[in-house]
Amino acid sequence: MRRLFLIAVLASLTASAAIGIFIFLVGEFGDTQRNLLLTTLAVGGFSLTGLASTVGAASWWLWLARPIGLATSMVALGLVVLLIWGIVDADNDDLVLKLAGTLVVLALSSAHLSLLGTFRPVNLLVWLWHSGTVLAAVGLAYLIVGAIWGHIDFDDEELYLRWLGVVAILDVLGTVGLFPLSRLASTPRPSPSRIRKPSKRKQRRLRPSVQSR
């Protein structure tokens, strides 16, 4: 199953790249070419989010994030393509836009969590940093999805934007700083070649002499 998915992702990325190159070199930028280019970007983006949900060894808490990432990536791709080509009319149906936005956020968040799940903390400090990053990623997705569906009160929009900015900064800081922190916090073990063996003179001095016995 995973092999077939990887082959499909590679084929879709290759086809999308070929279409994009053809549009830039040969095609004219009309409505059809614009829709083709947007479709190419959608295929490439959601292929990457779906691929990110399959790479690496799964952590125990990713048993739900991975299938959600794959499912939302595929469904979001289909819905976004329908919106791009005008097959689904979103002007008179706000529910379609809310559903599309929710699927996009879930696809990106699931891919992010799957990539974080491949990381193995080396000590308590890195584990705390890693756990805080996971919570920030989940909190950011909750704030965006909650705003899309109106579950967050917009009486104080400035306060919401402040919280959204703070959580987004913490998410980016935690993700970007996770690797250098783990490198700084890890204690390198000396290689066997650097372990010096005692010289023969010291070994002779340490051995009890025959006469002393």
Task: Tell whether 71 and 131 lie within a shared domain.
Answer: no
* Share of residues in the chain with pLDDT > 70 (%): 79
Distance of CA 22 to the CA centre of its chain: 30
Does 102 fall in a domain?
A: no
Kindly report, residue by residue over 124-154, the tens digit of the pLDDT.
999 999 999 999 999 999 999 999 998 877 6
Is 170's pLDDT higher than 90? yes
Asked if residue 75 has pLDDT above 50, the reply is yes
207 domain-assigned: no
Same domain? 134 vs 84: no
Say if 162 falls within a structural domain.
Answer: yes
| Domain identity same for 7 and 72 | yes
Does the structure show a pLDDT above 50 at 212?
Answer: no
Rounded average pLDDT over 116-122: 83
Rounded to whole angstroms, the Cα distance separating 45 from 40 reads 9
Residue 3 has pLDDT above 80, yes or no: no
Q: Look up the pTM and report it.
A: 0.76
Domain assignment of residue 193, yes or no: no
Residue 210 binned pLDDT confidence (cut-offs 50, 70, 90): very low
Residue 173 pLDDT > 90, yes or no?
Answer: yes
Average pLDDT of the chain to the nearest whole number: 81
The verdict on 16 and 78 lying in the same domain is yes
The answer to the question of residue 175 being in a domain is yes
Give pLDDT tens digits for 11-69.
Answer: 877 887 887 787 777 766 778 888 888 888 898 899 889 888 876 555 666 777 778 88
> Is the per-residue pLDDT at 196 higher than 60?
no
How high is the pLDDT of residue 154? 64
Q: Are residues 69 and 125 in the same domain?
A: no
* 194 pLDDT above the threshold of 80: no
Is 205 a member of any domain?
no
The percentage of the chain sitting over the pLDDT mark of 90, rounded to a whole number, equals 33
Total of domains in the chain: 2
State the residue range of the domain holding 14: 1-89
Q: Is residue 194 part of a domain?
A: no
Residue 118 has pLDDT above 60, yes or no: yes
